């Protein structure tokens, strides 16, 4: 009872803060967009932009040949246009002549220089350099030897070994950003905290774990429909508050401009049980939502066949898949934000998703039978299994833990800081982990790449170390298939094969949620939850 009273008191304080702060606002003519990154940022080097926190900031600092618009269409960026050869193996990009790197002392007295085709040759070769060990090297697995060519300063050519339909979309990923060789030569490994790019914003300062500040790039090449140079904002201020409830309070007070996603500590305060914005916030906050190309899952390390690891047994993995109620999980822990996924790894909205295919519904009787077949009747004799996660997903993992205990399975939860867990997973040091995969480009191949043996982590995204010859053959065949319907059929076969072998437990398909103050415009949601800030405006920006 005391806990309930305390929570109610907390939210009374929150509401008082919200309304009092709005009455007492002072304003400035500087447009500074403020957001929080609870997961921290490990690097500002786009060669290592492997998770959302790094992707978001790299999207502000860097550009590539092409980019995605809010509807996930591929549009020009530094490449003003391109052609693809009739055999689908040669991509020819014509570059803009008005793109310059951010001003920096690395360029000497010139302070900057124009981007040329040779910069893309350098940048892409750097990604595949084994000494660099970029997790994005897999993007270029299908590029021919010597396949990055600068024909002249304004013409860049990529030659592939074989046709690969998703390739252009892959070039929209931050890994494929252009970087200057002068900066890498000068800073070396310390380029991670001294980025020099071409983006709408340039680097100002970074106190790791405290604050990151980006300033408007006055020389940015893009303009809006009226010919006004982008971006509109003067600066971006990123904080690194770990506690989600503290972030929520800062948002309510107006010290943070938007929140992405929802956390258990404040979900019921902001959302109704059906996932709508609570009416009391309707005149203060906008809620933007849409389906999200993000699959949340639990991954198993498949090449750990130690005798004390029951997860190496396929029947145990399948039992876990059958062993918990996803619908109840979504209703009570997620306010029905997203959908409990039973149709495989490929999320809704991509070719290869089939809602009629049901792989693992909740079936505790089936789960118990599988445990018995695995040699663990009612869990007897089965060693304790450990699920590694972060604090943000602790409630969800506890729910799964409780459901599996009812089957006789002993589950321990190991809570880690996000960066530490990412490193454990990448290095193959976690037998069972909570993961998520946000689409890097809008094609199902992106999700299936997590299971291709040529993409083993840490160099690629195959964090489960899954290996299956049939899957690999289908994957390679799909890469070379230009027809979308034929490729879709191959994707469906691969999806079914993954679910049968269960290297993952697919939890749910996520939904984009953005809570934004009413004075913010131009911050639109998209199905990949990309943070694009170059068109954002702030009406009556609050004074710092």
Are 326 and 488 spatial neighbours (Cβ–Cβ below 8 Å)? no
CA 298 → CA 54, 444, 453, 495, distances in Å?
Answer: 22, 19, 19, 16
- Which burial class, exposed, middle or buried, applies to 145 when counting CB atoms under 10 A from its CB (0-12, 13-18, 19+)? exposed
Buried b (16+ CB within 10 A) or exposed e, 507-538: bbbbbbbbbbbebbebbbbbbbbbbbbbbbeb
215 and 364 housed in the same domain: no
- Of the listed ranges 68-72, 113-117, 395-399, the least confidently predicted one is 68-72
- pLDDT grade for 267, boundaries at 50, 70 and 90: confident
Inform me whether the pLDDT recorded for 6 exceeds 50: no
- pLDDT grade for 412, boundaries at 50, 70 and 90: very high
Close Cβ partners of 320 (under 8 Å, ≥ 6 residues apart)? 298, 367, 404, 409, 502, 505
- Of the listed ranges 14-23, 211-220, 326-335, the least confidently predicted one is 14-23
Q: Rounded to an integer, what distance in angstroms lies between the CA atom of residue 117 and that of residue 78? A: 10
The percentage of the chain sitting over the pLDDT mark of 90, rounded to a whole number, equals 76
In a domain, 306, yes or no: yes
Inform me whether the pLDDT recorded for 252 exceeds 70: yes
In a domain, 358, yes or no: yes
Go through the chain and tell me how many residues it has: 544
pLDDT for 311-325, tens place per residue?
Answer: 999 999 999 999 999
In a domain, 386, yes or no: yes
The confidence score (pLDDT) of residue 24 equals: 46
Alpha-carbon 67 to chain mean position: 16
What DSSP state is assigned to residue 450?
A: G
- pLDDT grade for 8, boundaries at 50, 70 and 90: very low
What does the pLDDT average to over 294-310?
94
The confidence score (pLDDT) of residue 2 equals: 39
Are 261 and 489 spatial neighbours (Cβ–Cβ below 8 Å)? no
The percentage of the chain sitting over the pLDDT mark of 70, rounded to a whole number, equals 94
| CATH code for the domain in which residue 176 is found | 3.90.76.10
225 and 325 housed in the same domain: no
165 and 304 housed in the same domain: no
What does the pLDDT average to over 509-514?
92
Inform me whether the pLDDT recorded for 1 exceeds 50: no
The confidence score (pLDDT) of residue 39 equals: 81
222 and 315 housed in the same domain: no
Close Cβ partners of 438 (under 8 Å, ≥ 6 residues apart)? 52, 292, 293, 294, 528, 529
Inform me whether the pLDDT recorded for 542 exceeds 60: no
229 and 308 housed in the same domain: no
What does the pLDDT average to over 232-259?
95
Inform me whether the pLDDT recorded for 359 exceeds 70: yes
Q: What is the DSSP string of 160-192?
A: ESS--TTHHHHTTSGGG----HHHHHHHGGGGG
Q: Do the strands 537-538 and 339-340 form a parallel or antiparallel pair, or are they unpaired?
A: unpaired
**Domain that includes residue 194, residue range:** 36-236
407 and 498 housed in the same domain: yes
pLDDT for 464-478, tens place per residue?
Answer: 999 999 999 999 999
If one counts every other C-beta atom within 10 angstroms of the C-beta of residue 187, the result is 17
Total number of domains constituting the chain: 2
What DSSP state is assigned to residue 456?
A: B
Task: Give the chain's mean pLDDT.
Answer: 91
Is the omega angle on the peptide bond into residue 56 within 30 degrees of 0, that is, cis?
no
- Enumerate the β-bridge partners of residue 207: 211
The first and second tokens of residue 172, run together, are 């929209």
Nearest to 95 by CA among 221, 203, 199, 183: 221
What does the pLDDT average to over 514-526?
92
Phi, psi values for residue 124, rounded to 5° = -75, -35
314 and 453 housed in the same domain: yes
CA 131 → CA 9, 112, 142, 277, 344, distances in Å?
Answer: 55, 27, 19, 48, 35
Nearest to 44 by CA among 171, 271, 243, 214: 214
| CATH code for the domain in which residue 301 is found | 3.10.105.10
Q: Rounded to an integer, what distance in angstroms lies between the CA atom of residue 106 and that of residue 533? A: 27
The confidence score (pLDDT) of residue 185 equals: 97
The first and second tokens of residue 289, run together, are 């939502």
The first and second tokens of residue 154, run together, are 């304004």
338 and 410 housed in the same domain: yes
In a domain, 262, yes or no: no
3-state DSSP helix/strand/coil % of the chain, to nearest 5? 35, 25, 40
Q: Rounded to an integer, what distance in angstroms lies between the CA atom of residue 439 and that of residue 170? A: 10
Inform me whether the pLDDT recorded for 194 exceeds 70: yes
229 and 349 housed in the same domain: no
The confidence score (pLDDT) of residue 5 equals: 42
In a domain, 282, yes or no: no
Nearest to 213 by CA among 187, 231, 239: 239
Inform me whether the pLDDT recorded for 7 exceeds 50: no
Inform me whether the pLDDT recorded for 326 exceeds 90: yes
116: helix, coil or strand? coil
In a domain, 10, yes or no: no
Q: Rounded to an integer, what distance in angstroms lies between the CA atom of residue 6 and that of residue 14? A: 12
Inform me whether the pLDDT recorded for 437 exceeds 60: yes
In a domain, 104, yes or no: yes
209 and 330 housed in the same domain: no
- Of the listed ranges 7-11, 135-139, 199-203, 533-537, the least confidently predicted one is 7-11
Are 103 and 110 spatial neighbours (Cβ–Cβ below 8 Å)? no
What does the pLDDT average to over 353-378?
94
- Helix residue ranges, H only, 291-361: 314-322, 326-333
In a domain, 30, yes or no: no
Domain boundary among 201, 236, 271: 236
- Helix (H), strand (E) at residue 158: strand 155-160
- Which burial class, exposed, middle or buried, applies to 414 when counting CB atoms under 10 A from its CB (0-12, 13-18, 19+)? middle
Are 230 and 201 spatial neighbours (Cβ–Cβ below 8 Å)? no
383 and 476 housed in the same domain: yes
Inform me whether the pLDDT recorded for 383 exceeds 50: yes
What does the pLDDT average to over 355-359?
89
180 and 320 housed in the same domain: no
């Amino acid at each position: 009872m005391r806990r309930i009273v305390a929570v109610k008191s907390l939210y009374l304080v929150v509401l008082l803060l919200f309304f009092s702060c709005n009455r007492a606002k002072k304003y400035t003519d500087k447009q500074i967009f403020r957001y929080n990154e609870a997961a921290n940022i490990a690097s500002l080097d786009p060669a290592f932009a492997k998770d959302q926190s790094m992707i978001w900031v790299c999207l502000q600092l860097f550009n590539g040949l092409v980019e995605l618009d809010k509807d996930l269409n591929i549009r020009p960026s530094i490449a003003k246009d391109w052609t693809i050869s009739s055999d689908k193996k040669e991509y020819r990009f014509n570059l803009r002549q008005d793109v310059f790197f951010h001003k920096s002392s690395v360029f000497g007295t010139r302070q900057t220089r124009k981007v040329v085709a040779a910069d893309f040759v350098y940048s892409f070769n750097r990604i595949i350099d084994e000494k660099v060990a970029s997790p994005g090297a897999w993007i270029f697995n299908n590029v021919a030897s010597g396949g990055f060519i600068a024909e002249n300063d304004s013409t860049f050519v990529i030659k592939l070994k074989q046709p690969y339909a998703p390739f252009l979309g892959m070039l929209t990923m931050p890994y494929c950003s252009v970087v200057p060789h002068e900066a890498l030569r000068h800073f070396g490994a310390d380029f991670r905290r001294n980025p020099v790019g071409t983006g709408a914003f340039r680097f100002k300062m970074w106190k790791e774990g405290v604050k990151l500040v980006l300033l408007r790039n006055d020389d940015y090449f893009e303009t809006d429909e009226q010919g006004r140079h982008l971006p509109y904002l003067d600066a971006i201020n990123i904080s690194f508050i770990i506690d989600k409830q503290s972030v929520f309070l800062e948002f309510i007070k107006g010290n943070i401009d938007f929140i992405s996603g929802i956390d258990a500590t404040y979900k019921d305060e902001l959302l109704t049980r059906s996932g709508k914005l609570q009416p009391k916030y309707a005149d203060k906050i906008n809620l933007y939502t849409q389906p999200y190309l993000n699959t949340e899952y639990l991954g198993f390390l498949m090449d750990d066949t130690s005798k004390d690891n029951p997860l190496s047994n396929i029947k145990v993995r399948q039992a876990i898949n059958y062993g918990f109620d996803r619908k109840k999980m979504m209703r009570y822990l997620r306010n029905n934000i997203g959908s409990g996924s039973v149709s495989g790894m490929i999320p809704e909205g991509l070719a290869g998703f089939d809602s009629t295919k049901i792989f693992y519904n909740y079936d505790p009787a089936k789960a118990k039978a599988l445990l018995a077949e695995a040699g663990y009747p009612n869990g007897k004799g089965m060693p304790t299994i450990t699920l590694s996660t972060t604090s943000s997903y602790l409630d969800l993992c506890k729910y799964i833990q409780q459901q599996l205990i009812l089957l006789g399975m002993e589950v321990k939860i190991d809570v880690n800081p996000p960066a530490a867990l990412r490193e454990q997973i990448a290095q193959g040091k976690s037998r069972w982990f909570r993961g998520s995969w946000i689409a890097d480009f809008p094609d199902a191949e992106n999700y299936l790449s997590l299971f291709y043996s040529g993409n083993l982590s840490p160099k690629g995204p195959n964090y489960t170390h899954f290996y299956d010859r049939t899957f690999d053959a289908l994957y390679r065949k799909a890469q070379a298939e230009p027809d979308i319907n034929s490729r879709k059929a191959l994707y469906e076969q691969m999806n079914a094969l993954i679910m049968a072998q269960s290297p993952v437990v697919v939890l749910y398909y996520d939904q984009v949620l953005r809570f934004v103050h009413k004075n913010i415009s131009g911050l639109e949601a998209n199905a990949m939850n990309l943070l694009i800030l170059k068109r954002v405006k702030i009406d009556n920006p609050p004074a710092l």
